[in-house]
Structure 1
């Protein structure tokens, strides 16, 4: 069952149960509560009547009884001395239900030595007022007036030195009538309660399930990884918090997916670079290895000029040494990603001074003009061996490719290290391929200087790992190349 009908049925059942319990409690408790209130009120009024009788006179008895009976709707009997005053409440059955008039009969018996006559009086009163009218007449009976349950109280008092007794009895017929009225109205009240409960349950179920349905719809879009899917509930309650949590979770998921995709792209690029590196290394090693093999075969077969072993054996050794150097450089380049080294903070001048000294000797030997300025040096945090290897390749390339008599410069500016050398500028087409392994802009010149085309490849690999930006660009005046590392 879905949450809307479930919430509606649960709420409806709860409201109907509450209404039923409330109606049952009213039916059960109202008679007792009403009777208790009437009893307390009768006790209070009776105490007041006793005080009024003790402070009054014989001629005040009838008026006090009438006022008391009219207010409390009870029967009153007063015995004082040899006299008895009785007031009995009943309804005139001849009146219509729309205009019921209540009547009161007051009987006064006065017994003396000279006369045994009985004096009687009728009092006709309006139930909404307390004005009484008296007239002499006969006793009027009220059949059924004493058939209902009643509460009787009796008090003693003293009037003009005579001891009297006040007896009050109140019928509970109005209570039974009220209970009957409640029972007769019970079906209508239950029906109204059910209708109201249905309407309220519908509204409540709609209010409760609307945000849940909205969250469910949006999460369905989120499962399809739709970028603009968001829960738009802005309430301050738990639904609002749930929507905010779902949105935050989805944003984190999208961010993680983007990061994974970026990492996958990096891995793909790295794998491609490794593949390209292996292919280039294989090609680079194949040529000298083949040359050595051919020369040795020809020497063994003593073909032509290769009979002169003394001439070709040194050449074979030179090729093998060159091949060994390339293998060492290839192994070093392939292990750059695996180097584990602690990062330390050190002055850039100190780092460069530890690396640049051999290249300064070479530069002086070639007659190059040197310029070094460490006045703007700054501290850097990096793995020193790895960064030194990159700096070594940069300094080596700069010294090797500086034109004879040219200028070789190293200085700091801002948070950058700048290395410049005067030489023939490299074209834009060549610049785009400089970081490819074993690429040489000028193969003949590279062989003369001993380059193997791995220098800038190693530099790029290290700087990428250290997350340092760099730029290699030609200079216009004077002609040359400038390498800048941004720390």
Structure 2
């Protein structure tokens, strides 16, 4: 259910509840309030009638909701006369019966001694029984106990007809309706006339017409409670409804703050029930978070890649500068020997090609430096003859080998000569291993190079790596502590390029020296 429909449903529920309560109020409470109001109104009416009659002595200025049922009796302090007045008539009644006069005397007594009213015997004022006793066998006799004298007044006809109409009920019955007013109240007189089996039947009924003014005070009196109840209900319903709407929004805000402050890139999706617009917004934010997380991971991956490339370039620069030293040193030795015409170096023509070879080696390294921007994706694998790589590296280091009087033995497996790899990187790996072996092998020592199926092993006899250095042998600037201590980049460069080609490198001490192996099938680098 979308938000507009949900709002409509909540509003309908609130409106229905308010209407139900108001209907229940008008059906259950309003009648009782009306009854209570009419009782109070009638009490005020009789009080007003009594006060006005005392002041005026007549009904000219007195109004009553039921003029026909309202009357005032005046009992003089002495005598046997009683005056009765109402809106319709004013009459003087002379009492000729002793029994009735006794009752009148009791009324005079208790009226003068109101403090004794609480001790009154109600049977003395039972006019029903007294009437039977007084009027029994005396009706229409000369000694009738009462004498009536109608007094003159100018307000006998108090009713004015306001409207009338005939209502035809059926072919045999009509009802005449006449509306009259006494100036304060309205009455409706109904006369029903029917013909039934040639008989004429008449029914008369008189009713007071309700006035809207009678109920208006009740409504005005009830308005504060109605308004308070409606406001309370609306307030509570609005709070509940607003919380129902606001809570998911607060959840969205809190989750957004969490995602903003989250640095570990862990995504915890929101769970919002329903199918309204807020739920759709929550799902959209979840999708946005997932997409941003993927973008962040991709960006982090690229950053790591760039860091790796920067590291590779740094290593490449270090390796290249490290490798440049070898041909530079060899070329200098040859040139100095030829300049000083020392021994065999007098034969310039014989040694100049070697100088040229060292210069080519330097040019090759410089060309590699100029191509530093080559990324891992630029690795070009091809079928390489490992024997040629070994021979090429030994040729570059021929001068150093001869100067130290080293013996290099190369054992090659005939069936294993080719490998699918990047020529530049595999050359750097093998050349650094051979250079390390030459550097750390004692003078007139032996180096053994063995090429077997899937592995290259180089042993430099007479060398040894301290046990505390062996676990860190592939870290940069870590070198054996001896007189031929180098820059500590050889094995670091080997390990790095081996990782790019997914090769495994292993270094360990053996009984006669140090053994370094390169396995062309695994990716993990082992530290022996």
TM-score by length of 1: 0.44
Q: Which has the higher contact order (CA 8 A, sep 6+)?
A: 1
TM-score by length of 2: 0.41
Greater Rg, structure 1 or structure 2?
A: 2
